[in-house]
A and B are shown apart, each in its own frame.
Chain A
C-alpha cells in the first residue's frame, strides 16, 4: 500500500490532492452520463406494460416523465460537461504547469557541476516529453477509471436489488479475465526488456551510421556496414512484433473474449433462473440491457495498464530530478577581503574516481597562473572547483581568505568570469546576449564592451546590428565570433577573477589574432587562471603549474621550469618543434 501511495505521488507530480479533486469530478460526470442507461431500463419497462397487462394501453404520461428526465439530464450535463471539458484542458495543463515551474526553480538552484555532468538533451527531454507523457496518461486513465468505478457501483447497487445471483453472473467474468491482463503485463515486461535492448542497439547503430556516413562513403564501405545495421534493425522489428503478437495475446484475445462472454453467461443464467421462476421477465431484460455497458470500460482500463510501465518511467525520471540536492548555501555571505585564491590539500573525484590528489596551490590577486598538462590531468577540474561547480571531497578552497562554502553562490560567481571554448548563445538579440554580463548596462556600455572584444565591426555588418536575432532561426555566427561575444559578456561583467580556457579548435590566424586581442583586454589587471594549450602564449605568466595525473608535477616561472629540465621542458620542446613543422623540408 505504501508502495502504491509512493507511486501515486510520483504519477500525480506530487499534487495528489488536485488529482483527487479532478477524479471526484470525473466520478460525478460519469454518474450523470449513466443516467440515460437507467432511463432506458425504465422506458423498456414502461413500453412492456401493455404486454404485461393487456388491459392497459401505453402510459403516455410516464413516457413524457422519462423524456423530461432525459431533457433535464441533457441540460444539466451541458453544464457539467463544460466544467469537465475545462478541467480536462486546463486542469491537467495546470498541474503540469505547476510542476514544471517548480522544476525550473529547483534546477536553478542546482550546482554548475550538475549541469556539466548531465547531458542537457536528456534533461530537456524530461522537461518536455516526460511531462507530456504523464499529462496525457492522466487525461486518459482518470476518466476511464472513474467510469469503471461509477458503473460498477451503480450496477452492484441496482442489480443486487433485483437479484443477487444475476449480479454474480454479471461480474463473474471480470475476475476470470484479470489474470490475462496480469499475464500480459508480465510478458510485456519481459519482452519489453528485450525490445529495449534491441531498440538501443538499433538507435546507436543508426547514429553510428549517420554520424560516420561520410567516412563510410569515402572508403566505399557504406554497403558493408549497412549489412550489420540491417541485422540490428531486423532484430528490432522482430522484438517489436513479439510484443504485439506474443505479449499482447492474453489480454487482447483471451481477455477480450472472456469479458464479452459475460453477456452470454448472463443470458444463460437469466434464462435458467427465469424458468425456475426465480427471476421476473422484466428483471431479466434489465440485466441484459445493463450488461452491455459494463465490460467496455474494463477492457480500456486493461489496455492502459499494459502501458503503465512506460509512463511510470517518465514519472520516476521527473521525481529523481527533484531529488537532486543543491549545494549547501550559507544564509549570510561571509566577506572576502581580496581576490586571492588558495587551495589547501584539496582532493576531489567524480564518483569513485579521484582526479585531484591533495593539491595545495595559491593564486595571488592580480597575477596570471597558467595550468599546463596533458588532457585528463585535472586542469579544468581546478577551475571548476574555484567556481564551486562541486565541493572538494577534502581540503579547503579559500577565496579572499574565506572558504568558498561560506560565500553565497551569487557572491562567489559575481567575482568570477569564465571564458570557455563551448560558447552558448541564446536565441535572442546580439545586445541581449552581451548584456548577460550586466543586465542594466546601457547601449553605450554594450557597444564599448563589443569594441574592446573586437565584436563591433562584425556586429555592425549584421542585418540589424545589435538588434539582430542570433541562434536558431536567426543569423549564424562563426566559432571565432561566438567566442568574442562571450568575451564581450565577460568584459561587461568586469569580475576580478578570470577563468580562461584557451581555445584548441583551429581558427584562421586573423580570427585568432582578434580573439587574442580581446583576451588581452579582458585579463588586464585581473586575477587570471588560464588553461593553456599553447605554451608560447603563457610563457610570461607569473606562475606556471604543470599537472600530471591530478598532482602538481612542477611549478614556477617559464625560466625556472626550463632550467629544471622536467615535463615542462619536454612539452616546450615538442611544441616548438611542431610549430615550425613543414610538410616538406
Chain B
C-alpha cells in the first residue's frame, strides 16, 4: 500500500480494484460507446429528414440510396448498442465479482493474521457485515454505477460539443434550461434549513429502525409485563415521526424539485422560438432548416442522459462509507512474530506487564509473577479484575503495553506463530465445532496424529462413547448425518482437540465445566487429566478447585494482590478470605431460605 497520502472513497476503491482496472476501463469505454450508439437514431432521423427536404414535393426524386444508408446505419447502431451494452455490463460484472472475491479473500486472509484480541469487543455480525454487505456495495458500485457514470457524463458532453460546432447560439440556448435546473438542485441541497431537515430525516430514520428492532427483540419482555400497548404506541410514534420528517422534507423541496424537473424537460420550449427566430432571419431558409431540426431533435434527446448524470453524481458519494469499513480491517496492523523455535524449558515469567483496552483504564496493571514448569497456578478474583485479560496476554491475543512475558526465557513476541501455538493451548468457553467429520474436528489439534491417537484423545476427553454411538462413528459429519451433539458434548469434543495438541502449557477456565451442569463431572475429569505434568494456569470460580494448587494468584482491579498457597492466603489475604466466605454462602443458599438446611 502506498505510503503518505491516504486515498479514500472512489480512488481508494480503484486502488483496491488492482489488476481488474483494465477490465473496468474497457467496460466504461464500451458503455460510452453503447450510449453513443443509442444517440445515433437522432442523427440518422435528422439525416433522413434533410434528405427528404431536397425533394419534399417530389418524393420519387428522393435519394433513396441515402435513406437506405441511414436505415442501415440505424440498424448497425442498434446492433452496436446491444453488443456494447451487454459486453460492458458483462465485463463490469465480471470485474466486480472478481474484485469482491479478491477483496473477501484479502479480508479473510487478513483476519487470520490479526491478533485474536482484535475480535474482542467486536460482534461476529459486525465483521460478517463488512465481509458480505460492504463488499456487495462494491459490486453495485463497480458493476452498475461506474459504467453508468462514465457513459452518462461522456454522452452529454460529446453531444454538446457537436452541437456547439453546428451552431453555438442554439447550443447555448440548449444549455439554458439545464443550467437553471442545476442551480435549482444545488439550492435545494445546500440551503441550511434544508440541511437540518435532512439531518432530522436521517435521525428519525435511525430512531425508527432502533425502535423496530427493540420492539421485536424485546417483545417477550414487553408481553410479560403487559406493556405491549405502550410499546406499540412508541413504535407507532417513531414510525410516524419518520414519515412526518419525510413529509416535511418533501414539502420543503417540492417547489424547487418540481421546477427542476420542469426545466429539465423544457428544451423544446427554449429551442422552438429561438430556432424559429433565427430561421426567419437566415439567409437561406432551406439551408438553415436542417440545423434547426437537428437541435429540436437532439436537444430533446439530451434530457435523459443529463438526468442520469445527475443521479450518478448523487450516488457516487455512497461508496465511501463501505470502503472505509473495509480499510478498518485491511489497515489494522498484524502481529509481528519472531522466528524462535521451542524453548528448552516451559517456565512462564511475567514481568511488569500492563494492558489497557481503553486508554487510561488498565485492565492489567504492572503484574509480576512466575509460573514454574509443571506446576499448577490458580487464578482467582472478582469478575472484571483482569483474570481473563492476563490469560489472553499469555495466549498473545494482545501484546502488553508495558512489560514482557517470557516462556523458557524467550519473549512471546520472538516465537513464530506456529511455535507459540504448539506451546500454549486453551479451552475456549464457547466451543467452536466446524461442519466437518468428528475425526477432522478433533484432528485440528494435530494433522499428523494417527487414528489411535485421535481415539485416545477422545477417550481422555470422555467423548469416545458418545462418538461411537453416532451413526458413522468418527466419520459422522457433525450437524448432518443425524449426528447432533449437546452443548456439553461439543465442549468435550473441543477438549479432545486440545488433548491431541498436547502442548506443554495449558490454560483452563473452570467456568467451561459448569456451563453445562450435566457434563460438569466429565469435563472436570478431562481437565484433571490434561493438567498432568504440564504448566497449568486455571481461572477458578470455585475456590475449592484450586485449593491444592502450587500457587494461587489473586487479581483485583488489574492488580496482582497476592500470590501464595491456600493456607498462606487464608492467613494473610483479606480478599481471599472474603471470597472463600462468599463461595461458602453461595453453595449453601437455598431458594426457601436458610432455615431448613440439609
On whether the beta carbons of A108 and B232 are closer than 8 Å, the reply is yes
> Which chain A residues (212-247) contact chain B, with CB distance < 8 Å?
212-226, 229-230, 233-234, 236-237, 240-241, 244-245
Q: Which residues of A contact B521 (CB under 8 A)?
A: 574, 577-578, 581
CB distance from A73 to the nearest CB of B (A): 8
CB distance from A353 to the nearest CB of B (A): 13
On whether the beta carbons of B383 and A249 are closer than 8 Å, the reply is no
> Which chain B residues (98-127) contact chain A, with CB distance < 8 Å?
98, 100-101, 104-105, 108-109, 111-113, 116, 119, 124, 127
Does B569 make an interface contact (CB < 8 A)?
no
CB distance from B371 to the nearest CB of A (A): 14
On whether the beta carbons of B85 and A240 are closer than 8 Å, the reply is no
26 of the cross-chain contacts (CB-CB < 8 Å) are A36-B269, A63-B276, A67-B272, A90-B250, A100-B239, A107-B216, A209-B111, A210-B111, A210-B124, A220-B421, A229-B108, A241-B93, A241-B97, A245-B94, A248-B90, A253-B86, A263-B44, A264-B71, A277-B59, A281-B56, A281-B59, A368-B591, A387-B224, A436-B221, A578-B521, A582-B546
CB distance from B393 to the nearest CB of A (A): 14
> Which chain B residues (235-291) contact chain A, with CB distance < 8 Å?
235-236, 239-240, 243, 246-247, 249-251, 253-255, 257-259, 261-262, 265-266, 268-269, 272-273, 276, 279-280, 285-286, 289
List the B residue with the shortest CB-CB distance to A238.
Answer: B97
Does A324 make an interface contact (CB < 8 A)?
no
Number of A-B contacts (CB under 8 A): 458
On whether the beta carbons of A579 and B591 are closer than 8 Å, the reply is no
On whether the beta carbons of A52 and B56 are closer than 8 Å, the reply is yes
A interface bracket (residues with beta carbon within 8 Å of B): 35 or more
Does A539 make an interface contact (CB < 8 A)?
yes
On whether the beta carbons of B83 and A509 are closer than 8 Å, the reply is no
| Assembled-state Cα–Cα distance A539/B587 (Å) | 12
Interface hub of A79, A215, A221, A516 (most chain B Cβ within 10 A)? A215
CB distance from A104 to the nearest CB of B (A): 5
9 residue pairs, one from A and one from B, having the closest CB atoms? A257-B82, A222-B112, A89-B250, A260-B78, A506-B511, A253-B86, A244-B93, A81-B258, A212-B432
Interface hub of B81, B269, B286, B421 (most chain A Cβ within 10 A)? B269
| Assembled-state Cα–Cα distance A433/B279 (Å) | 78
CB distance from A509 to the nearest CB of B (A): 4
Extra contacts, 16 of them, besides A216-B444, A237-B100, A260-B38 (Cβ < 8 A), are: A47-B293, A77-B261, A79-B258, A81-B257, A104-B232, A107-B216, A128-B213, A210-B124, A214-B432, A226-B112, A241-B97, A281-B56, A505-B515, A507-B383, A519-B591, A579-B544
Q: Which residues of B contact A285 (CB under 8 A)?
A: 49, 52
Interface mask (B198-231 → A, CB under 8 Å = 1, otherwise 0): 0000000000011011111111111111111111
CB distance from A400 to the nearest CB of B (A): 18
On whether the beta carbons of B548 and A585 are closer than 8 Å, the reply is yes
On whether A219 and B445 interact (CB within 8 A), knowing A206-B131, A249-B86, A414-B226, the answer reads yes
On whether the beta carbons of B296 and A271 are closer than 8 Å, the reply is no
Interface hub of A64, A218, A222, A480 (most chain B Cβ within 10 A)? A218
On whether the beta carbons of B541 and A253 are closer than 8 Å, the reply is no
Q: Which residues of A contact B265 (CB under 8 A)?
A: 33, 36, 77
Q: Which residues of B contact A94 (CB under 8 A)?
A: 243
CB distance from A265 to the nearest CB of B (A): 9
| Assembled-state Cα–Cα distance A63/B268 (Å) | 12
Q: Which residues of B contact A263 (CB under 8 A)?
A: 41, 44-45, 74, 78
Q: Which residues of B contact A52 (CB under 8 A)?
A: 56-57
Contact residue among B82, B104, B286, B547 (Cβ-Cβ distance under 8 Å from A233)? B104
Contact residue among A223, A271, A580 (Cβ-Cβ distance under 8 Å from B112)? A223
On whether the beta carbons of B266 and A70 are closer than 8 Å, the reply is yes
Does A336 make an interface contact (CB < 8 A)?
no
Does A153 make an interface contact (CB < 8 A)?
no
On whether A504 and B143 interact (CB within 8 A), knowing A36-B268, A58-B276, A577-B521, the answer reads no
Binds A, one of B155-163, B361-369, B459-467, B524-532: B524-532
On whether A112 and B515 interact (CB within 8 A), knowing A51-B56, A60-B276, A264-B75, the answer reads no
On whether the beta carbons of A70 and B269 are closer than 8 Å, the reply is yes
| Assembled-state Cα–Cα distance A414/B593 (Å) | 26
Interface mask (B37-72 → A, CB under 8 Å = 1, otherwise 0): 010011011001100110011011000100110111
On whether A512 and B542 interact (CB within 8 A), knowing A101-B239, A241-B97, A426-B218, the answer reads no
